[in-house]
Amino acid sequence: MRVSWAIADNFADLNVDPDKLTDIGSTWGSWRTWRAWNTDNVLCCDGNKTKDLIARAFQAVCNLYIKNSHFAEAGRPMGVNLFEGEYTAEFDNQEEVITLHLLASQNDIVLLLGYNVEDCDSTDQMQKHKRTNYLNAMYSVCKMNEDVQWVFIDYPTNLPERFDDLENVTCDSFENVLELLS
């Protein structure tokens, strides 16, 4: 059974030990997660940030994934992994969704730390629009990959109704996951 952790950009829980995560499976997240969680696999969608990371040889301390379209701009660096695809819809935290796409092809279980799939409560129409696009992208990844079990860890409420029709999406506690998978 192949298991990996997907760590959301804003995840911060002092009770979670990064070493316990790697005892169960590999860790994945954006470049924003690496410092706090020492993620094994790091994604970057931003061209300028990619160049900055490459200039600091970031790919020497993790498995760095960058957009194929940024590869030449970054000087064709050795030791990076490339991913294809562009999202035409605007939303924040694209690395979170791309991580799930990459994990779906390699895992039986994906453990989601800090992922939030609640609707936007802002009155700003652009923020609502971007949030809806993000939620639709998250839902699509889970629906398209029904052979993968997606587990939201320590989700603070019940999952929104939009996920009710997906039998491969559940919630569980961190402690229970550690006990079951250790």
Note the pLDDT tens digit of each residue in 13-28.
Answer: 988 999 999 999 999 9
Q: How many C-alpha atoms does 180 have within 13 Å on its Cβ side?
A: 11
Partners of 171 in the β-ladder: 152
Which residues span the domain enclosing 71? Answer: 3-181
Q: pTM here? A: 0.94
- pLDDT value at 72 more than 80: yes
**pLDDT for 182:** 84
Q: How many domains does the chain have?
A: 1
**pLDDT for 171:** 97
DSSP string, 73-97: TTT--TTEEEE----SS--S-HHHH
Q: At what angle do helices 125-144 and 94-104 cross, to 10 degrees?
A: 0
